[in-house]
Structure 1
Amino acid sequence: MNNSNQTLTIKEQLQACRSKEETFKTLVTLSKILQRLSSEEKTDENKVKGCESAVWLIVEESNGIRHFNADSDAKLMRGVLVAILSLVEGKAAKDIQQMNLKVELAELNLSSYLTSSRTNGVLAILSQLQQP
Structure 2
Amino acid sequence: MAQAAFEEVVEDFEFLDDWEDRYRMVIEMGKAMEPLPEALRVPATKVEGCASQVWLHPQIEGGRYHFQGDSDAMIVRGLIALLHRLYDDLPVAEVPQVDARAEFGRLGLNDHLSAQRSNGLRAMIERIRQQAAQAA
Question: Do they fold alike, i.e. is TM over 0.5?
Answer: yes
What does residue 31 of structure 2 align with?
Answer: 32
* 1:61 alignment counterpart: 60
* 1:45-89 CA distance string (max 9 Å, x none): 101000011110011101100111000001111111111221111
Q: Does 1:49 align with 2:48?
A: yes
Q: Identify unmatched segments of 5+ residues in structure 2.
A: none
Q: Name whichever structure is richer in helix by fraction.
A: 2
Find out whether 1:17 has 2:7 as its counterpart: no
Q: Give yes or no for contact 2:6–2:85 (8 Å, CA) kept in 1.
A: yes
- Could you tell me how far apart the structure 2 residues matched to 1:48 and 1:87 are? 18
TM-score (norm 2): 0.87
Gaps of 5+ in 1: none
Aligned length: 129
Moved over 4 A (4+): none
- Provide the aligned C-alpha RMSD in A: 1.5
Judged with a 3 Å threshold, the aligned counterparts in structure 2 of structure 1 residues 107 and 49 are, in CA distance, closer, same or farther, namely same
C-alpha deviations, 1:20-48, integer Å up to 9, x for none? 21112111211122110121111111010
Aligned-pair identity (%): 25
Could you tell me how far 1:15 is from its partner in structure 2? Answer: 3.5
**1:89-100 pair list within 5 angstroms:** 89-100=88-99
